[in-house]
Structure 1
Amino acid sequence: MTDEQVTERPRRSFNLKNLYLDPNNYRFIDNKKHVYVEDWLVTDPKVQKSTRLFIEGKNQENIKDLIASFKSNGFMEVDVIQVKDLGDNNYLVLEGNRRVTALKCLQEDSDNGLDIGALDPSIFRKVPFEIHNYEDNEKHLVIMGLKHISGNKKWSTFNQARLIYDYLLPYKEKGKEIYNKKEAHLCSSLGVTKTKLRTMQRVMHLILEYKESDFDDQFESSKYGLFEEIIKKPAIKDWLDWDDDTFTPRNRNNLERIFSWISKTEVRISEDSDGDNDDFKDPYEEFEPIINKSLEIRDLSLFIDNESALAVMEEERSLAQGLVASGTVDKQNFNKALSKLRENLSSLSNHQSLITVEDTEQLLEAKDKLLSILPKSQNLNIEAGNYSCCFQFGVNKHFSSLKIDAYKGLDDLELKGLNRINIFAGSNNCGKTSLLEAVYLLSVHNDIGAFFKLIRLKNKLHTLNATWLNQTFDKSVKISGDFNNTTTSLEFYKFEASNIDKKDDYLSSYRLRADVDGRILDNVVHTFAHQPLIRENERVERLCASAFKSPYFFDFEEILKEHTKAVETKVESNSALKLVVDFVKKIDNNITDIRLVDDGEVKRFVVESKRTKDKDLDVTYYGEGLQRVFYIALAFSSCRNGVICIDEFETAIHFSLLIEFTKFVQELSEVFNVQVFLTSHSKECIDAFLLNDYSNESISGFFMEKNIDGLNIKQVNGDRFRYLIDNIDLDIRGDSDE
C-alpha cells in the first residue's frame, strides 16, 4: 500500500439514518436485477429499499454472520466504514455496506423491542466512519481492490475482474506506455501478478463481447469460469484470432459460434411437407448449451482446428460426439497405453535377471504383437501390382521425339530424330541422367508406384518415407513425346486435396496424369504421417515395357522378374536366358552355366564353372563387370517392344569387352525390338558402338553442354557419327574429369 493510501483521515460519528447504502456496489453488480443508479437518485427511499434487499439476501442470509457477531461482541471497529460526503449531512457508504445494513436491521429490532444482545444501542446515533474525497476514483477502486481482490473478504472473480476493468478503462485510449504504467501501478498496489491481472482483463473483455451479443440475457457471473478457460487455451485464442493489444477477437464468425455453444439456442422447426402449419404453435425449438462446464472447454481445445469434428458437434449438439469424430479420445487412450508400456518395459528391464524359459515365449509373443502394430504407412509401398501396357505388341516405331517441359534441372528441352540406340554424353551435371529418367518415367505412364520407386532408388532409401517425400518433393514434372506415331504425355505434381477426410496427420497428395492420344488416366495418392495412404486411380497402365539400369542402385526384386521373363521368352527354340549365358561364356570360357537357386529364404544366382567343380560360387564372387553385363542383358527380354535406359553404360566393364558387349546390346535390341537410351563417360565405349561392325544407321549421338544461355545439345546420326569419330577424333564426352 502506498503512503498516500495510509494517510490518516478525520473520523466522524453520525446517526445511522444519515448513511446511505451504495446501489452500485461491486458486490452485486452481477445480479440480474441490478440496474445502475445515478448519483442524484442514491437517496431515493425506493432505491435504498431495493439496495438493502440486495445486500441482505433472502431471509437476511447475506448478513446473518454480522448480526450474530454484533449481538455477541457488540460493534468492533475492525475495518473502518468509508463514506463519500453527499452534502446536507448525508453520506454514501463506499466500504462497509454489509455492516451498515446489519446495523439498520438491528436498529429496527431494537425499536420494535426485540433483543439485540451485547450491541450498545447508542451506536445507532454515532456510527464511526471515515470521509474520503473520492473525486479521484482511482484511489477508491484501489482501496476496494485491497480488501476484495487481495484481502480476506474477496468478491466473486467476476466482480474482481470488473473492478480492474473499470480502473484501467480510462487509459485504454491513452497509448500503450501510459496503459502499461497503470497496469504496473495496480499490480504493485493490489499485490497481484501481471499474469493474473491481464487474464482478468482478457476474460472481462470477452464477457463484455458476450453481453453485446444475441445471448446477453443469458449471462450469469457463474459463467466466468467458462470464459476464463476460453482465454486460457492457446488453441482457442488462435482460432478466435485474439488480439492481446486491444483485447478483441478478430474472427467474429468464430466468436459467434463459440458463444452459441455455451448458450441456449433456438432453432426454427422445419415445416411439414404437406404445408399444414399450426399458426398457434411456436415455430422455434430451444436447445440447451452444448458446453456447460469450464472443464468441457479443455476438451473443445483438443479439436478446435478440426472443422469436420466441429460440424459433427454442432449437428449432434454434443461435445462428446465431436471428440469421437476428431479421434481425440482414441489419441488420449493411445497416449495412456503408450505411457503404461514405457513404465512396464522399464520395470521389466530392471528385473531382467528374473526372466525364465517359460517367460521367454510370452515375451516373444509380445514382441511380435508390438512389431505388428508399428506404423508402416509412412513407407509408400505401392510398387507391387498388376499393370497393362498401351503398346505391348506390334511396335513399329518407338520414341521419335521427346519434349521435357519440366523435370529436375531440364526445362523446355526438345529432342527429335531419336534412333534405336541413343547415346548421351557431356560434362558433369549437365543433366544426362535426368534425361534418361525422364524417358523412363514417360514409358511407365500412369504407374505412380514406379515413380515413387525411382525416387527411392535414386536416393538410396530402403523405404520411401511419406514425411521425407513431402519435405523433399516440390517441383512438378511435365514430359511428352511421340511413341509409335502416337502423342503421349504425363504430368506429376503435389497438391492439397479438398475431397478427402483430412486426418490430423494429413501430409499431401500426389497426382500422376497420363495422356495417350487424348485418352487420359489419373492416378492419385493421399499421404499421411502415420495413417495408411489412400489411393485413387482408374487403372495402372504403362506406355510400354521398360527398365532403368544404373550402377548406383541394385534392385534384386526387379532382376528376379527379368530372369523369369528371360526363362519364359523363346528365341529360335532357345530361351532368352540361354542367349545371355552364352554371351557371358565368351567373357569367361570356364563358365558353363548361371542358375537361380532358392537356398531357404535366400534367392541367388550361382555360376557353374570348370574351375570350381566341387562348389558353385555366387555370381557376386565374380567381377563387377561380369555382373553388370549379365544384369543389363537379362533385362532385354522383359522390355520387348519397349525401352531400356542404361546409365553410365561402361561402368565396371573392362574396355576390352566393350566391342563385343556393345554389339551384343545392338543384337538384343533388334531381337526384342527394344529402343536403347544410354549415357557414357567413355570415348572407348562410344567408339565401341561405332566400330563393332553392326549397324551405325541405328545409332544417334547427343552431346549435352551447359553454357550461360542454358543447355545446348548437338546431335549426330549414323555414318556421319562414324565419319567424325574416324577422321577428327570427335569426343562427345566434353571436357570433364568424370
Structure 2
Amino acid sequence: MASNRIVKHIDRLILDPNNYRFIDRVDYKPVPDDFVTEARIQTRTMNFILGRNQENVKDLISSFISNGFLDIDQIQVKPIGDKYLVLEGNRRTATLKYLWEEFKQGKDTGKLTEKDFKSVNLVEIVDEDPVQHLISMGLHHISGKKRWSAVNESQLVSDLIQKYNLSEVEVCEQLGITKYAVRRSIRTLSLIQQYKSSDYGEQFKADMYSIFQSIISSPIMKEWVNWDNDYNKARNNINTERLFSWISTTEEIEDDTETNRKDIKYKDPIITQYRQIAEISNFINDENALSKMEESRSITEGYVFSQSVGEAKLRNAVEEIKNATQLVYNFRDLVNSSDYEELTKIKEKIDDLLPISKALFYTNEKKAQVYFSTISHHFTSANITKYRKLENIQIQNISRVNIFAGGNNKGKTTILEAFYLITQLNDLPSYIELERYRGKFLEDFPAKWIDKNFISEINLTAKFNSIETGLFIKKEFTEEDIDKTGYLSSLMAEAHIENLNLTSNLHLFSNREPEYRYIKSQTLCPSAFTSPYRYNERLLYTAHKLAIENKYYDKVIQFIKTNLDSTIDKIDLINDGGENRFRVTSSSMTEVIDITKYGEGLQRVFEIALLLGYCKNGILCIDEIDSALHKSLLIKFTEFIQQVAKDFNVQVFLSTHSKECIDAFVENEFPDDELTAFVLEENEENKLECNFLSGNKLKQLVETINIDIR
C-alpha cells in the first residue's frame, strides 16, 4: 500500500461517515461510498464527532488553540473525486473544520493562523488495501494508546474475520491480541446484535458492552440462553428476550378505572452493571427467585429468595459446624460450665433440625420452596387417573370453597388428599405423612408398612394458577448403587409444572431408616390437610406464629369468644417444661388450663381457623368439617370460613356427611357465587363419577325442594 505526502485546504477534506467510532450509536447507519460527500451526511458525521457543545473534542480544541496544529500524528486520506476522504485522523480533521468556521467568523482561534487551515499536511494512500487499513487502525486504537470503546474494537475484529476472511490466528498475530480476546469480542458483538434486533434494541449504549461481555464470559448464563458457539447465537429465545428485558427500561400498561384511560408505567432496568451478571448467575435456574427479582426489580430480593443460594449457604454452614465441632472436641478437656450451657443450646437447635426418630423418615414439619410467588386462580380442574379406589375421576367447575358429599367409603377423603398431594409436587414425605395417619400410627411408622400397603400407582393431574401440573408416584426396585442390606423397595415421585420436572426417591429398608433423595423439592403453594382423626402440633405452632404476624389471631379468638365461649379471654402458646402447649385464660376459671380440657368442637374450630391463616395464598383441605360441631354453630362458622378464605386468598376443599352443614353454607350471609358442591355417586355402569352444583343453584334447590345431595 503506497502513500504520498500532500498538502490540501481543510475544505477539501471529507469526514468518514463509516468511522468505527460511530457503530455503537443507535442512530448510526452505514453510508455507501456514493453518498459520503453529500452535505447532509457530512453534517451528521461532524455532529457525531464533535458531540453536543463540542464535548467530544474539547481536549483537541484547547490543544490547537494553545499550541497550534502540530503535525505529529498523520492524517491519512484517499481521493474521492476532487475531495479527500479521511481514513485516519477524523477527530483532528473535524476539530480543524470547527475552528476554521470560528476563524472565518472572526473568533479567537489562538495560535492557529489561516495557513493552518489552507495548507494541511496529509498522507495520501494510493491503492488502498482495506485489510491493511483496518489492521493499521486496530494497532492504533486497539493495541495502541488511543483506545476505542470496546464495542468499536469488537466490530473491527469481527469485520476482519467475517468480512475480509482473516483467520483468528492472523488477527491475533497482526493486532497482538489473544485468541480468547478475539473469540470473546466476536461472541459479545453477536449477542449485542441480537439485542439490537429485539424490542429493546434502540436502548443500546456503548457503556452496556461490559454487561454483554459478562454474559458471554459466564458459562452458567451461556447455558441458560443456550449459547451456540458455532453460530454465535443464543438459541433459547424466551430466556434471551427475558434477559434483554432485565437490561432495559420496560413499559407496563395500567388501566385507570376512574378515567377509563391506559397509563404507561416505566420500569428501570434490573441490570445496570456488569458485576450484577455474576450475582444473577447464582440463582438463574431458580424460577421463584427470578420471579421475585422481576416483581421487585431488585437482584437482592431474588438473591435472598433463592433456594439455590440458600442451599449453598447451608452446605457452607454445615461444613463450618463440622470443623468447629471437631475443634471443640479436640479441646474438650478445657470446656467449663458456661461452655456446657452454650453447647446445650446448640445441641437443642441441631436436634430441631433432625428427624424425631428414624421411623418417621422426614415427616417433621418443613418448608419447601413455593413455586408460585403470586396466585390468582388456584385449582380450576383436576383429574384423578388413579389414586386408591378412585379411577378417572374428573373434577370441573372448582371454585373458592368446594364441598364434597356422598355416602361412606365413596372416596371423599381420597379426593381431598389428591388435591393436597398435587400441591406438594415431588415431596414424598407429605405422602408418607398421609399414610401414617391412614395407618393410625401416632409415632413410630415402620417402612415395612409402606412397602406392604403401597398397592397401586398414583397418577394425578390438574390445572393450577392457569398452569398444567401433575404428580406420579410408583413403587419400584431401584437400580441405584446403594447398600442393599435390608432393602425392601423404593417409592419414586415425578412431578411436573410448566417446563419444570421434579423427581425424588425414597428407599425403604427393614433394618434402618429410609433414604430420601432429591435434587430439588418444591410445592405449588402453602397448603394443609386437617382431619378430626389427625393432629399436627408442629404445623399448628407455625400457623399460630403466622396468625400473629398477619394480625389475624385476634380475629380467631374473637370468633371463639362470640360463638363458643364468651368467658374466654385469650389462648396463648406457652412453653411448659420444654413442651409447647396452647393454654386458655378464662374469666370463669382461676387457673390457665390446657386447650384439650375444652370440648372437641372448640379445638376443631381453633385448628381450622389457624390453618386458614397458614394457607394464605394456598389451599386448605378439611376432612369431615362438621365433626364435633353443633349444628347451631354451622351457619356462623361456614360464613367465617368463606370470609377468611376470600380475605387470605385461600381455596378450600372440604368433606361432610351432614345435610345441615351443606345447608349452612347456602343459608349463611356470604354470597354463594364462589361455592360449589360435589357429590360422588355411581353411574349406570356402576362407576364412580363426580357431579357438581354451583352454590347459587344449590341454594335455589335447598330453598325450593330441600334437596339432600349426600
TM-score of the superposed pair, with normalisation by structure 2: 0.50
- List runs of 5+ in structure 2 lacking aligned partners: 365-437, 453-476, 509-513, 532-710
Q: In structure 2, what is the equivalent of residue 508 of structure 1? A: 504
- Residue 193 of structure 1: how far off its partner (Å): 1.2
| 1:81–1:130 Cα contact (<8 Å) kept | yes
User: Contact 1:81 / 1:129 at 8 angstroms: preserved in 2?
Assistant: yes
Q: Which residue of 2 aligns with 1:72?
A: 66
Go from structure 1 to structure 2 and tell me whether the alpha carbon gap of 1:250 and 1:380 turns closer, same or farther (over 3 Å shift).
farther
Aligned-residue Cα RMSD (Å) equals 4.9
What's 1:708 paired with?
A: none
| Mapped contact 1:70–1:118 kept (Cα < 8 A) | yes
Do residues 324 (structure 1) and 304 (structure 2) align? yes
* TM superposition shift of 1:16: 1.4
Aligned partner of 1:191 in structure 2 is 176
Matches within 5 A, 1:514-529: 527-528=517-518
The answer (yes or no) to whether the contact 1:378–1:530 under 8 Å persists in 2 is: no
Counterpart for residue 268 of structure 2: 288
Give the structure 2 partner of residue 485 of structure 1. none
**Are the structure 2 counterparts of residues 226 and 25 from structure 1 closer, same or farther at C-alpha, using a change threshold of 3 Å?**
same
Q: CA offset at residue 14 of structure 1?
A: 1.4
Please tell me whether residue 21 in structure 1 is matched to residue 15 in structure 2.
Answer: yes
Of 193, 196, 200 in structure 1, the residue corresponding to residue 185 of structure 2 is 200
User: 1:690 corresponds to which residue?
Assistant: none
1:297 pairs with 277, 283, 287, which one?
277
Q: Does 1:43 align with 2:40?
A: no
User: Which residue number corresponds to residue 639 of structure 2?
Assistant: none
In structure 1, the partner of 2:290 is 310
User: Within 5 A, what are the aligned runs for 1:472-551?
Assistant: 472=481, 493-498=491-496, 508-510=504-506, 527-528=517-518
Q: Which residue of 2 aligns with 1:471?
A: 480
CA change 1:42–1:256 in 2 (3 A) is same
* Secondary structure, counterpart of 1:497 in structure 2: strand
2:224 counterpart of 1:239: yes
**Aligned partner letter, 1:158:** V
The residue type equivalent to 2:274 in the other structure is: S
Give, in angstroms, the shift of residue 139 of structure 1. 1.8
SS in 2 for 1:236: helix
Residue 83 of structure 1 contacts residue 91 of structure 1 at CA under 8 Å; is this kept in 2?
yes
CA–CA distance in structure 2, aligned partners of residues 307 and 497 of structure 1? 16
Q: How far apart are residue 237 of structure 1 and its match? A: 0.8
- Greater radius of gyration (CA): 1
Q: Could you tell me which residue of structure 2 aligns to residue 654 of structure 1? A: none
Shift of 1:158: 1.5
Counterparts of 1:346 and 1:140, CA distance in 2:
67
**Aligned residue in 2 for 1:131:** 124
Separation in 2, partners of 1:52, 1:232? 36
Q: Structure 1 499/121 Cα, relative in aligned 2: closer, same or farther at 3 Å?
A: closer
Asked whether the equivalents of residues 378 and 529 of structure 1 are also in contact (C-alpha less than 8 Å), the reply is no
SS of the equivalent of 1:282 reads strand
Tell me how far 1:331 sits from its aligned partner. 4.6
Q: Are 1:450 and 2:455 matched, yes or no? A: no
The answer to whether the 8 A contact 2:490-2:505 is kept is no
Q: Write out per-residue CA displacement over residues 155-213 of structure 1, whole angstroms, 9 at most, x where no aligned residue.
A: 11111112222222236xxxxxxx6x611111111111111121111111111111111
How high is the sequence identity, in percent, across the aligned residues?
35
Contact kept? 2:286, 2:308, Cα under 8 Å: no
Aligned to 1:382: 361
Indicate the residue corresponding to 2:104 in structure 1. Answer: 111
Which residue number corresponds to residue 206 of structure 2? 221
Query: 2 CA distance for matches of 1:306 and 1:383?
Result: 24
Are 2:100 and 2:117, in contact at CA under 8 Å, matched by a contact in 1? yes
Q: Structure 1, residues 595-647: CA drift from partner, whole Å, max 9, x if none? A: xxxxxxxxxxxxxxxxxxxxxxxxxxxxxxxxxxxxxxxxxxxxxxxxxxxxx
Provide the C-alpha distance between the structure 2 equivalents of 1:140 and 1:196, rounded to a whole number of angstroms. Answer: 21
Quote the offset at 1:445 in angstroms. Answer: 10
Matches within 5 A, 1:659-678: none
Per-residue deviation, 1:302: 1.2
**SS of the residue 1:154 aligns to:** coil
The Cα shift of 1:104 comes to: 2.0
Cα distance, 1:93–1:474 mapped onto 2, change above 3 Å: farther
The structure-2 alpha-carbon separation of the partners of 1:261 and 1:353, relative to structure 1 and needing over 3 Å to count, comes to closer
Please report how far the alpha carbon of residue 91 of structure 1 lies from its aligned counterpart in structure 2 after TM superposition: 0.7
Give 1:238 deviation, angstroms.
0.8
SS in 2 for 1:471: coil
- The range that moved more, 254-263 or 103-112, is 103-112
1:245 Cα offset (Å): 0.9
Equivalence for 1:168: 161
Cα separation, 2, equivalents of 1:378 and 1:57: 74
Amino acid at match of 1:106: L
**Aligned positions, number:** 423
Deviations 1:75-126 (A, max 9, x none): 32322111122132x1111211111122223333333444433345423222
| 1:494–1:509 Cα contact (<8 Å) kept | yes
Of 75, 87, 91, the residue aligned with 1:81 is 75
Shift of 1:339: 8.2
What is the TM-score normalised by the length of structure 1? 0.49
Helix, strand or coil: the match of 1:117? coil
> Partners in 1 of 2:503 and 2:51 — Cα distance?
60
Deviation at 1:154, TM superposition (A): 0.8
Q: 1:93 aligns with which of 70, 86, 93?
A: 86
> Which residues in structure 2 correspond to 1:624-635 (within 5 Å)?
none
Taking a change above 3 Å as real, the CA distance of residues 191 and 339 of structure 1, as seen in their structure-2 partners, is: farther
Residues of 2 paired with 1:298 and 1:84: CA distance?
46
The equivalent position to 1:252 in structure 2, one of 237, 243, 246, is 237
What is residue 209 of structure 1 aligned with on the other side? 194
Q: Equivalences for 1:137-148 in 2 at 5 Å?
A: 137-148=130-141
Q: How far does residue 357 in structure 1 lie from its aligned partner after superposition?
A: 4.5
